[in-house]
Amino acid sequence: MSKLTKNQKNAIAKVEAGKAYKLSEAAALLKEITFTKFDASVDVDVRLGVDPRKANQMVRGVVTLPHGTGKVVRVLVLCTPEKEAEAQAAGADFVGLDEYVDKIKGGWTDVDVIICTPNVMGKVGALGRILGPRGLMPNPKTGTVTMDVAKAVKDVKAGKIDFKVDKYGIIHTSVGKISFTGEQIVENAKEVINTIIKLKPAAAKGTYVKSIYLSTTMSPAVQIDPKSVETK
């Protein structure tokens, strides 16, 4: 195991073990203990009391972060020629169909989001093995299979993200960058957590939100008191 740097030791020392912080305190603390030279991502991990193997306990949703993700989101729109101009005008980075289907079959996945129109799903469906594991498969539930490609592109560029509980019952998603103000991090994190709370499956028994942690790419995780995240 590599030795901890002085900064890492200082960061760990500032996080009180076993303490659940208020969301606003956690956001301020993260800004204090993140020493990366790059603009680190701020991530939230929410552990839920659900069994994701059961279809009626799957938690999946879409949320628009009030302050965006802080990332440059590269968008590919797969559509027929009559939709290409609309997609390009909305700010899509790549637009086309057969050329990109072939590129993806060849292993190219250098994008963050793929949007497609329903009439090309036959071709896109064949890419499931490549796109599925990377979380890039378009889905009508998340608004990425649509005829209104312009709206979909603008939403994604403005900070719309989708999340899904993993097989361990945890939702892991980014809520911004460490360069954001503490308030921006709090508002983005609240939006995600409140959306997750609203999506509680009727079949989920016992405590729904078991724990919440906020962290950056290189920092220790800071535990959040779920009571400090007020639902709207």
CA distance linking residue 225 with residue 204, whole number of Å? 21
CA 20 – CA 26 distance, rounded (Å): 9
Look at residue 232 and tell me whether its pLDDT is greater than 80.
no
Go through 35-65 and write b for each residue having 16 or more CB atoms within 10 A of its CB, e for each that does not.
beeebbbbbbebbbebbbeeeebebebebeb
pLDDT in tens, 71-83: 889 999 999 999 9
CA dihedral 167, 172, 173, 177 (to 10 degrees): -160
pLDDT at 1: 44
pLDDT per residue as tens digits for the range 176-204: 999 999 999 999 999 999 999 999 999 99
d(CA 83, CA 95): 9
pTM: 0.78
- Say if residue 205's pLDDT is above 60: yes
Q: Which domains does the chain have, with CATH numbers?
A: 19-69+161-228 (3.30.190.20), 75-158 (3.40.50.790)
Mean pLDDT rounded to a whole number for the chain = 90
Q: Where are the beta strands (DSSP E) in the chain?
A: 41-48, 60-64, 75-78, 94-96, 113-116, 160-164, 170-177, 209-216, 222-224
